[in-house]
Amino acid sequence: MKEEIILVDKNDQEIGSGEKMKVHQNGKLHRAFSIFVFNSKNEMLLQERAKTKYHCGGLWTNTCCSHPRRGELLEEATHRRLQEEMGFDCELKKIGSFIYKAEFDNGLTEHEYDHVFTGKFDGEPKLNLEEADDYKWIGMEKLKKEIKKNPESFTAWFKIAMEKVF
């Protein structure tokens, strides 16, 4: 079964749905979320996207990101995907949102109304290897230096969220 994601206007009002790959091929604006999890040392949990992902494989990004499915509440989707990708769940708090558009070498385009959530977790994730190849905890100052030194090693939305939200 093909996954249907939610199409939105620039005010995040639902205007329909579309099959996930077609939406990314056509660059249509759709609802998404990005989760940033921190531990008690205030380190951020990053994941390295699986090299087999349909775009941005092998790049470092925030703890979890995805799309709510048609008919699924945003808050339900965040907890579902955090569990599916990283093997844990935690309390999440919405801290903002932004719209961005990024085109990739493979012809796909991310055009997202991205809702940003944060959470706290001190355990070890249990990675779904179809989603993530690796993870690391990193302090904010070190992370900012890494992004500046090697921006090509990080996803487009992660760099935008870091600028806009953090």
Active site residue 112: yes
What are the pLDDT tens digits along the chain (166 aa)? 688 999 999 999 999 999 999 999 999 999 999 999 999 999 999 999 999 987 888 999 999 999 999 999 999 999 999 999 999 999 999 999 999 999 988 889 999 999 999 999 999 999 999 999 999 999 999 999 999 999 999 999 999 999 877 7
> Which of 86, 83, 27 is CA-nearest to residue 62?
86
Q: Give yes or no for a contact between 140 and 146, defined as CB atoms under 8 angstroms apart.
A: no
For residue 128, what pLDDT is reported?
A: 96
Nearest to 64 by CA among 53, 30, 19, 105: 53
Q: What is the pLDDT of residue 15?
A: 97
150 Cβ contact partners less than 8 Å away, ≥ 6 residues apart: none
Selected catalytic residue, list 4, 85, 110, 112: 112
Residue 139 belongs to domain with CATH number: 3.90.79.10
| Per-residue pLDDT, 68 | 97
Q: ∠140-141-145 over CA atoms, to 5°?
A: 115
Rg, C-alpha atoms of the chain: 15
Counted domains in the chain: 1
Cβ atoms within 10 A of the Cβ of 153, count?
13
Residue numbers of the domain that contains 116 = 4-165
Which residue among 56, 65, 85, 110 is the active-site one?
Answer: 65
The answer to whether 65 is a known catalytic residue is: yes
